[in-house]
Amino acid sequence: MKRIWNNSWLQKGLRNSTFMQSKSPHQIDPELSDKLFSIVNDILPPDKQVKPRTGLLTFGDAPFHISQPNQHDTKAEFEHEYQIVTEAMAGLRKLVPLFLTREDADQQRTLDLLRLEFDAKMQQGAPETPIDVAIDLVRSVVADVGGLRASVRIFIDLFRALSERRDELEQQRDKFWNLPHRAPEYYARAIANRLAKLYARKTGQKPTSGASTDTGDASTKFTKALEQIFSLLDIQSGARPPADWAIKNLTEEDLAPRMSVLENLGLGPSPSRKGLSMSRCVLPEGPKD
């Protein structure tokens, strides 16, 4: 018989953490989304076009992040988020390897037995029908397809997201909190940087920047696209300086094809090629104190 969870405190916590029940601050107006995708696709080759994500949990989308680069009112708020991110990464760095494929036969057998028990318990605790919210549907599907393996892959995705956020916060520390004043036009630079990275990743080339010698208006597809995006986002800045800055700061890594999730996180080759072996899959160490 399927066991029903009666832990009111746990269910309350799940309800409070269900972000898809309310509108996320990163969701955008559908009309703005359409305009942004149209502008971006105008500068990309036909076979490199970007499309909005679709799914039960997708409420609004953009071809790249359009949020303000700094969202903290105080340094204490900034340091608190940085602590949460780095401690979560440290926890995942210890947690994920525990469940990866082992080369030792006895250890692998133990892991297989644990997986069976873990999957059964996740199925017991999965939400029952009728399912009222999308997150409960996701939890139910995760339990059905294999709770442990699916959870580990979600943990890896979470680690990647946390790693990217840590990098953003460290850039913000240099730009905002270690200086007596904010860098000029930083929002414009951030948007230009995100668009330049998207273009580089999709085409393998750096975009170009330029302006008319007669009017000063943007003269390349990239800078024209930036002008349009700045207008949509109400960014009071010319396109040329942020475009030049973003292009100058592109790296060879930005021009390379995107690696698989595991390769990107230092976990080794894609599982389709090598498998998840503990001898090859190690989450990158954090910074040394």
Longest dimension (CA), the chain: 78
Instruction: Tell me: do 40 and 125 sit in the same domain.
Output: no
Instruction: Tell me: do 55 and 189 sit in the same domain.
Output: yes
Domain extent for 98: 71-183+259-289
Q: What is the pLDDT of residue 24?
A: 46
DSSP string, 103-128: SSHHHHHHHHHHHHHHHHHHHHHSPP
pLDDT classification of 287: cutoffs 50, 70, 90: low
Give pLDDT tens digits for 141-155: 888 888 888 898 999
In a domain, 165, yes or no: yes
pLDDT mean across residues, the chain: 77
pLDDT (average), residues 77-106: 92
pLDDT classification of 13: cutoffs 50, 70, 90: very low
Q: What is the pLDDT of residue 36?
A: 94
Q: What is the pLDDT of residue 126?
A: 79
* 56 SS3 class: coil
pTM for this entry: 0.52
Indicate if the pLDDT at residue 274 is higher than 50. Answer: no
Instruction: Tell me: do 142 and 178 sit in the same domain.
Output: yes
**Could you give the C-alpha distances from 176 to 74, 171, 184, 217, in angstroms and in order?**
10, 8, 11, 30
Instruction: Tell me: do 34 and 84 sit in the same domain.
Output: no
> Measuring CA to CA, which residue among 91, 151, 94, 102 is closest to residue 122?
151
> Do residues 69 and 242 make contact, with C-beta atoms less than 8 angstroms apart?
no
Total domains in the fold of the chain: 2
Instruction: Tell me: do 92 and 224 sit in the same domain.
Output: no
- What Rg value do the Cα atoms of the chain yield, rounded? 22
In a domain, 16, yes or no: no
Instruction: Tell me: do 215 and 179 sit in the same domain.
Output: no
Give me the half-sphere count of Cα atoms (radius 13 Å) on the Cβ side of residue 120: 7
Q: What is the pLDDT of residue 11?
A: 44
**Could you give the C-alpha distances from 128 to 123, 131, 209, 247, 257, in angstroms and in order?**
10, 7, 55, 51, 42
Share of the chain above pLDDT 90, in %: 32
Give the residue, 259 or 64, on which the prediction is more confident: 64
In a domain, 14, yes or no: no
Q: What is the pLDDT of residue 190?
A: 87
Q: 233: which residues sit within 8 A by CB, 6+ positions away?
A: 66, 187, 191
Instruction: Tell me: do 110 and 171 sit in the same domain.
Output: yes
Q: What is the pLDDT of residue 41?
A: 95
Q: What is the pLDDT of residue 12?
A: 42
> Do residues 203 and 40 make contact, with C-beta atoms less than 8 angstroms apart?
no
Give pLDDT tens digits for 174-221: 777 776 655 557 788 889 999 999 999 999 999 999 887 777 778 899
Q: What is the pLDDT of residue 95?
A: 92
Instruction: Tell me: do 141 and 193 sit in the same domain.
Output: no
231, two tokens: 């207008």
Q: What is the pLDDT of residue 186?
A: 77
Q: What is the pLDDT of residue 71?
A: 67
pLDDT classification of 10: cutoffs 50, 70, 90: very low
